[in-house]
Amino acid sequence: MEKRYLGKDRLEVSAIGLGCMGFTQSYPPFPTEEESIYVLRQAVDMGVTLFDTAEVYGPFKNEELLGKAFAGIRDKVVIATKFGYDLEHYVLDASNRPVSLSSRPESIRHAIEGSLKRLQTDYIDLYYQHRVDPEVPIEDVAGTVKDLIKEGKVRCWGLSEASIQTVRRAHSVCPLTALQSEYSMWYRKAEEGMLDTLEELGIGFVPFSPLGKAALTGRFNKNTKFDKSDFRSTIPRFSPENLEKNIKLAEYVEALARSKETTPARIALAWLLAQKPWIVPIPGTKKVERLRENNGAVNVHFTAEELADIRKHLDSIEIIGDRYPEEQEKMTGL
């Protein structure tokens, strides 16, 4: 597995990380704890070092899972987790997700202690604010995390789903190592100024949902229906009327994969890797065979002419529908 570096402090991570949410949330059926630990250990054996979790995934179950999986091999992994939801008095929405935010200094300190305990570690490699709290100035958040870094509880920090202005304000108080936001052939808002800002400031980028919530894997067609327990059933882009139109992008990626003699997932991930050397996607999977497939994207390369042609095709395909249900979209800082 190739290595990449995030931020000016050059946090070394595998070129492709692993998003761990799906082991406990949003994409049932969920594997058993034993099965999950096996997959996570296999990922380490394959050279994956960056593992992304959050206290809210479960809530709490995901961090507990990683704590058990990495017991005894903590020095081989880079753990990224997140704070920012009110999990002391939380209420869940229809998608089983908390509905209230809290990034008050006392909330952050409460969150870090819980995460450290569940992850069975005394430090977090990369600590993200999960969502921007409109009630707390980002400077206060940055100052609190800066203190946690001084105390040795956090190595590096980042933001998730934040605006360019918020990134700049936070970075001026405590330099950011990474921004995590959605970015893929399926969703390219990051190209509207954010990538340029990150390059200017020397901040790495960790795209989540780099496979478009599996839309770019070749697994779906226009007639695919999602069970009510599947998070995608609530997403406008996956509604029957929108998926019928949006599948054109997936079909293009499949055709490109055939021409390159590889898989659609590898095409989607390799395209992201080709955008910037400081981009590290974190596809999620619960299966070892998918791990192998995703990691193989580091061996797929494009010429400048191919990249230009891909961009031309992406620009010509309109994606219909929002990427989140309305209430969840409101909770992003974009």
- CA dihedral sign, ordered 58, 59, 61, 63: positive
Q: What is the amino acid identity at position 133?
A: D
Q: In Å, how far are 192, 233, 274, 332 from 196, measured between CA atoms?
A: 8, 34, 15, 20
Residue 189 DSSP class: G
Instruction: Tell me if residue 57 is catalytic.
Output: yes
| Residue that the structure tokens 């091999």 belong to | 73
Distance CA 314, CA 46 (A): 32
Distance CA 45, CA 197 (A): 35
- Which candidate, 137, 60, 134, 129, places its Cα nearest to that of 92? 60
Q: What's the residue count for the chain?
A: 334
**Distant-in-sequence, close-in-space partners of 84: CB < 8 Å, separation ≥ 6:** 101, 102, 103, 111, 128, 129, 130, 131, 132, 133, 160
Q: How many CA atoms lie within 13 A of 332 on its CB side?
A: 16
| Residue that the structure tokens 């990150």 belong to | 198
Distance CA 207, CA 71 (A): 27
Distance CA 328, CA 22 (A): 18
Cβ of 303: how many Cβ atoms within 10 Å? Answer: 9
Q: What is the maximal distance between C-alpha atoms in the chain? A: 54
Of 5, 38, 57, 85, the catalytic one is 57
- Catalytic (active-site) positions: 57
